[in-house]
Amino acid sequence: MSQWFAVNGLFQNIEKTNALHFKSPKWIISNLLSHVKKLKKLFGLVFDKHTKWNTLVEAIIIKMSSACYAIRSVYSFSDKTTLKIIYFAYFHSIMEYVMLFWGKLSESKKVFQLQKKILWITTRSQPRDSCKPLFWTMEILNLPPQYILISMTLLIHILYVCLYISLLTLQVSIHKRNYTNTDH
């Protein structure tokens, strides 16, 4: 990697460089440096060198537990609308962040349990009450449909970008013709 920087006239500050070295039985993403620490944190994401997202889910669950505590703290003097706003501002934003990476893991059940717990608090229901009607009345998507929505939104964005690039390429090829008279 240092050679690439040197060839391209760039300077690499080794002391400030964080390299992620991902390995999987099926593929290798990058082989940047050999002295990689066990865990790296980048944009709030916790990566390990084996591309297992369990560490990320554990960190997210800790953040969501504090969101659950925040909702429980204001529960006694807030109405449902305020609690719903706090839910979307605090819990939902954490849950949705990088859900594509961890949404299908078995640990996501813990996230779903926390989501149900917050829903019971928000609607002032009992823990034995079914959550399905509560999700409907609060107009909140539970974890599995939220994962599908995010996946489909990403797919639509990718298709849109591919279509845009193909149209741009077509436009460039049409406008490449020289219409000026060069015989003057």
**What would the pLDDT profile of 60-115 be if each residue is shown by its tens digit?**
888 888 888 888 899 888 888 888 888 888 888 888 877 776 666 777 788 888 88
3 state SS of 125 = coil
Mean pLDDT, the chain, rounded, equals 76
Task: At 174, list the tokens.
Answer: 């049409």
Using 50, 70 and 90 to split pLDDT, how confident is the model at 35? very low
Q: How far apart (Å, rounded) are the C-alpha atoms in residues 66 and 116?
A: 15
| Interhelix angle 108-123/54-74, nearest 10 degrees | 10
Q: What number is the average pLDDT over the span 151-161?
A: 88
Three-state SS letters, 73-90 = HHHHHCCHHHHHHHHHHH
What mean pLDDT is predicted for residues 158-179?
A: 74
Query: Is the pLDDT at 30 greater than 50, yes or no?
Result: no
Instruction: Look up the pTM and report it.
Output: 0.60
Percent of the chain residues past pLDDT 90, beyond the cut = 1
What are the CA-CA distances from residue 162 to residues 154, 166, 179 (Å)? 12, 6, 29
Residue 135's pLDDT band (cuts 50, 70, 90)? confident
> For residues 70 and 90, is the Cβ–Cβ distance under 8 A?
yes
- Characterize 136-168 residue by residue with b for buried, 16 or more Cβ atoms within 10 angstroms of its Cβ, and e for exposed: eebebeebeebbeebeeeeeeeeeeeeeeeeee
Report how far residue 140's alpha carbon sits from residue 118's, in angstroms, rounded to the nearest whole number: 11
Query: What whole-number percentage of the chain has pLDDT above 70?
Result: 68
**Buried b or exposed e, range 53-75, using 16+ CB within 10 angstroms:** bebbbebbbebbeebbebbeeee
Residue where the block lists tokens 């349990």? 113
